[in-house]
């Protein structure tokens, strides 16, 4: 659910800026931050938002003023001035500065000083409300502050409704309620509410506060009467009246405008009934991580049993699944979703049957975990083996196809990894029911030994960014979707990402190529599925093909096959001289069409072709058409791409076609996994060293020569 809409849609906004935002540690005003505040408010006013500011800072500034006027040499840490005197001394300077800054933006502001009494009598409350509404109507920004100069309060004031007025946070909450603000921003020196102590390296800001979430309270703010407990109290009380509250840092230069643009900054607190009681991403991740440790300890048979049960349950619940899927289809149709997307969204009894069969096949495949990759007899009685192990927890972000849920779940169980799934909103009902059925299968098959938490379903899009920050808990991210999705995720996280952002595949036709073979392969590479990442985007023709017009034969055939050839000037004039009109190439060589378009250029020779591909390609898949095995070998060695083919269509670059079983994705990374990736891409390795020497084995025995290294490689198959 797009909870942040409560922020972006707000019209009347109350911004509370804490002392730590408004002043520097030395008590002087934080000019940069104040300037940013005023600039952001000016932008809000341009968008016709109404803005009220509750500010702190006068006391700190007053201390400065008094110190300056008493003794220049006074101990700068001396803060024994009367707080009321400080408030009096600081208030006018603060307002003067606010006014000077707002004046630069042609905005008027108005000072409103409040005391307890203003809230004690209903008449005075009404008057205050009227005044504020009047100011807002005139486009004036009211600047509110407690009149500390005459404040006598020693304990919180509690009115008949239970509302508390104690510090500027509670004052802000009270005013926000009073004037029916849509949004209350509490800006201070904390980034938001945390799941752990803020000094813990695993601490994360909670994006959406859920009542069940345990909040860990950090240290108090530097200056000011309030503190984090008071802030939470104030926030909760305002939220319960229906106001959206955000607790965020006031240090960001553009925080307010970013928040209004829907960015996931700080902690958002909404009225409890607005929040479904599902847990936040932090909690789900921790549970999946914990369950993944149990999964890792299961035997191969136990994991197979889960997969078999999953297959059975999917089949047995076909009706339920179709019912949920129908809801998604109906919603999609209502919103006029494209037919191709609906086709991907739609489940049928046949699709479900084939899903169930697919899971059974995965169950029956050889266990990829615990496979010995290498072994070495290091010394007498000292054997080293390197074995495959699960990575830990995977996060898969996918779009539309609900079939992905059981497929990915099966791969995760097979590879003994915990799995966090984030599907598209358009498939939410289908994803939910599938997730529920799979979870039940896990529990049933293991008699409750393994919790269904091992596969977590993340509902909210907002949670993705939170998840991407969990680099200690999530070991691999697999985005399955558009190039843009992959790129955005790569830029947003430190977690390794398995994916490919571009598929700019080339075919190079060598001078000795068989022309009919070439036409067949190029046509397939482009037209078999033009939107696929392994479709060819760029064709390089060796110039020797011009001599006997073989180049023209190729071009005409591709043109006749309805491939839109985007030609370099050289190719363009060659074709045109022979009566064939092609499109001019307007985009760069580094362009992925994803449509039946193909860049065509001539290349002087083999070396130029190789350089061109290594420069403009995306290291995905390239193919050479040649009758020379030697030239093909050279090409396959010198091209720096994940897949390099000879006389074969680029469309073969695919996990199933490569015989890898279910495909996890295609990677253009160089490390870990490259090209089409099967279940092996979900594994890491582990070194096991076992001593059978009667005394155990110690390194120093080898240093002093008491024991000798053997280092004999062993055949893993024979262990």
Binding positions for a copy of itself, 298-327, rule CB under 8 A:
none
Alpha-carbon distance values, 633 to 54, 479, 639, 650 (Å):
72, 33, 10, 17
Give the separation between CA 255 and CA 36, rounded to whole angstroms: 9
Least distance (Å) from a copy of itself to the CB of residue 33? 7
Residues 454-493, interacting with a copy of itself (CB under 8 A)? 475-476, 490
Q: With binding defined as CB under 8 A, does residue 684 bind a copy of itself?
A: yes
Counting contacts by CB under 8 A, is residue 354 touching a copy of itself? no
Q: Does 39 bind a copy of itself (CB under 8 A)?
A: yes
Contacts (CB under 8 A) with a copy of itself, residues 520-579:
520-521, 523-525, 528
CB closer to a copy of itself, 132 vs 375:
375
Taking the least distance from each CB to a copy of itself, the nearer of 552 and 652 is 652
What is the Cβ-side half-sphere exposure of residue 681, based on CA atoms within 13 angstroms? Answer: 29
Scored b (16 or more CB within 10 A) or e, 656-667 reads eeeebbbbbbbb
What is the rounded CA–CA span in Å between residue 215 and residue 382? Answer: 50
Q: Give least dist CB 608 to a copy of itself, A.
A: 13
x/- map, 42-61, a copy of itself, by CB under 8 A: x-------------------
Q: Choose the binding region for a copy of itself from 157-165, 269-277, 425-433, 696-704 (rule: CB under 8 A).
A: 696-704
391 is a contact residue toward a copy of itself (CB under 8 A): yes
CB atoms within 10 A of CB 699: 7
Report the residue number, 116 or 488, with the smaller CB distance to a copy of itself.
488
CA dist 33 and 92 (Å) reads 19
Which CB, 441 or 450, lies closer to a copy of itself?
A: 450
Partnered with residue 120 across adjacent β-strands are none
Q: Single out the segment in contact with a copy of itself by CB under 8 A; choices: 109-117, 133-141, 301-309, 638-646.
A: 638-646
Nearest to a copy of itself of 127, 687 (CB atom): 687
Q: What is the DSSP string of 321-379?
A: HHHHHHHHHHHHHHTT--HHHHHHH---HHHHHHHHHHHHHHHHSPP-TT-EEEEEEEE
In degrees and rounded to multiples of 5, residue 559 shows phi and psi of: -60, -45
Question: Which listed residue (625, 662, 664, 679) binds a copy of itself by CB under 8 A?
Answer: 625
Give yes or no for a contact between 493 and 478, defined as CB atoms under 8 angstroms apart: no
Comparing CA positions, the residue from 43, 53, 47 lying closest to residue 21 is 53
For the bound state, the minimum distance from the C-beta of residue 40 to a copy of itself, rounded and expressed in Å, comes to: 9
**565: helix, strand or coil:** strand
Name which of residues 62 to 81 contact a copy of itself (CB under 8 A).
68
- Could you tell me how many residues of this chain bind a copy of itself (CB under 8 A)? 99
Contact status: 35 vs a copy of itself (CB under 8 A)? yes
- The whole-angstrom separation of Cα 475 and Cα 324 is 31
Based on the shown chain and the rule CB under 8 A, indicate whether residue 367 belongs to the binding site for a copy of itself: no
Residue from 101, 135, 171, 477 in contact with a copy of itself (CB under 8 A): 101
Single out the residue of 120, 124, 253, 326 in contact with a copy of itself (rule: CB under 8 A): 253
Among 49, 84, 105, 196, binds a copy of itself (CB under 8 A): 105
Closest C-alpha among 281, 261, 273, 266 to residue 7: 261
Interaction of residue 222 with a copy of itself, rule CB under 8 A: no
* Residue 63: CB minimum distance to a copy of itself, A: 14
SS (H, E, C) 3-25: CCHHHHCCCEEEEEECHHHHECC
Residue 687 interacts with a copy of itself (CB under 8 A): yes or no: yes
Given the rule CB under 8 A, which of 5-13, 406-414, 550-558, 681-689 is the region that contacts a copy of itself?
Answer: 681-689
Closer by beta carbon to a copy of itself, 2 or else 96: 96
Residues 640-679 that bind a copy of itself (CB under 8 A): 640-649, 651-653, 657-659, 669-672, 674-676
With tokens 């009246």, the residue in question is: 241
Residue among 285 and 518 whose Cβ is closer to a copy of itself:
518
- C-alpha distances in angstroms, 694 versus 267, 383, 384, 559? 59, 14, 17, 77
Residue 287 binds a copy of itself (CB under 8 A):
no
> What whole-number distance in Å separates Cα of residue 7 and Cα of residue 235?
14
Token reading at 433: 């029911």
């Amino acid at each position: 659910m797009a909870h942040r809409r409560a922020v972006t849609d707000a019209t009347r906004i109350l911004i509370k800026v804490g002392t730590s935002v408004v002043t520097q540690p030395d008590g002087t005003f934080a000019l940069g931050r104040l300037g940013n505040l005023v600039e952001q408010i000016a932008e809000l006013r341009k968008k016709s938002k109404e803005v009220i500011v509750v500010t702190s800072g006068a006391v700190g500034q007053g201390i400065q003023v008094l110190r300056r006027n008493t003794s220049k040499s006074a101990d700068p840490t001396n803060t024994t001035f009367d707080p009321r005197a400080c408030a009096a001394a600081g208030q006018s300077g603060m307002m003067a500065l606010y006014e000077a800054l707002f004046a630069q933006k042609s905005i008027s502001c108005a000072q409103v000083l409040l005391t307890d009494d203003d809230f004690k009598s209903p008449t005075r409350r009404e008057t205050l409300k009227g005044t504020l509404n009047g100011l807002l109507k005139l486009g004036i920004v009211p600047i509110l502050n407690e009149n500390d100069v005459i404040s006598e309060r020693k304990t919180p004031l509690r009115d008949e409704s239970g509302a508390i007025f104690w510090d500027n946070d509670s004052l802000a909450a009270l005013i926000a309620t009073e004037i029916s603000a849509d949004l209350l921003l509490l800006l201070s020196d904390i980034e938001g509410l945390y799941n752990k102590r803020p000094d813990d390296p695993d601490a994360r800001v909670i994006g959406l506060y859920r009542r069940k979430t345990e909040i860990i309270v950090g240290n108090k703010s530097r200056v000011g009467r309030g503190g984090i407990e008071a802030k939470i109290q104030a926030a909760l009380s305002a939220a319960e009246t229906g106001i959206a509250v955000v607790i965020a840092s006031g240090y960001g230069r553009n925080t307010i405008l970013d928040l209004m643009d829907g960015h996931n900054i700080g902690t958002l607190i909404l009225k409890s009934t607005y929040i479904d009681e599902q847990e936040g991403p932090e909690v789900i991740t921790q549970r999946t991580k914990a369950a993944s440790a149990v999964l890792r300890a299961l035997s191969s048979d136990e994991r197979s049993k889960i997969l078999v049960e999953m297959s059975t349950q999917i089949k047995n619940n076909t009706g339920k699944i179709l019912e949920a899927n129908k809801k998604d289809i109906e919603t999609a149709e209502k919103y006029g979703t494209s037919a191709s997307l609906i086709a991907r969204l739609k489940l049928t009894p046949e699709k479900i049957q084939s899903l169930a069969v697919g899971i059974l096949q995965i169950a029956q495949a050889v266990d990829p975990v615990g496979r010995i990759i290498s072994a070495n007899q290091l010394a007498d009685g000292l054997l080293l083996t390197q074995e495959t192990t699960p990575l830990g927890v995977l996060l898969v972000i996918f779009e539309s196809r609900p079939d992905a849920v059981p497929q990915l779940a099966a791969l995760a169980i097979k590879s003994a990894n915990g799995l966090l799934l984030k599907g598209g909103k358009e498939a939410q009902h289908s994803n939910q029911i599938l997730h529920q059925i799979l979870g039940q299968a896990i529990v049933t098959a293991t008699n409750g030994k393994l919790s269904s938490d091992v596969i977590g379903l993340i509902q909210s899009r907002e949670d993705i960014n939170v998840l991407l920050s969990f680099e200690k808990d999530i070991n691999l991210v697999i985005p399955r979707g558009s190039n843009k999705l992959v790129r955005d995720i790569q830029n947003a996280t430190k977690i390794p990402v398995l994916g490919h952002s571009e598929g700019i595949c080339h075919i190079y036709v060598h001078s000795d190529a068989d022309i009919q073979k070439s036409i067949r392969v190029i046509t397939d590479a482009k037209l078999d599925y033009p939107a696929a990442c392994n479709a060819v985007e760029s064709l390089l023709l060796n110039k020797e093909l011009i001599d006997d017009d073989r180049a023209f034969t190729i071009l005409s055939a591709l043109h006749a096959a309805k491939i839109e050839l985007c030609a370099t000037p050289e190719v363009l004039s060659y074709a045109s001289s022979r009566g064939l009109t092609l499109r001019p190439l307007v985009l760069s060589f580094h362009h992925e069409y994803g449509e039946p378009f193909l860049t065509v250029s001539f290349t002087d020779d083999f070396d130029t072709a190789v350089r061109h591909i290594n420069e403009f390609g995306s290291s995905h898949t390239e193919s050479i058409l040649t009758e020379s095995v030697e030239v093909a070998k050279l090409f396959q060695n010198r091209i720096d791409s994940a897949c390099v083919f000879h006389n074969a269509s680029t469309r073969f670059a695919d996990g199933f076609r490569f015989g890898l079983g279910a495909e996890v994705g295609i990677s253009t990374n160089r490390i870990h996994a490259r090209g089409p990736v099967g279940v092996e891409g979900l594994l890491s390795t582990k070194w096991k060293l076992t001593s059978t020497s009667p005394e155990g084995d110690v390194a120093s025995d080898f240093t002093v020569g008491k024991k000798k290294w053997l280092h004999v490689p062993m055949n893993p198959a024979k262990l």
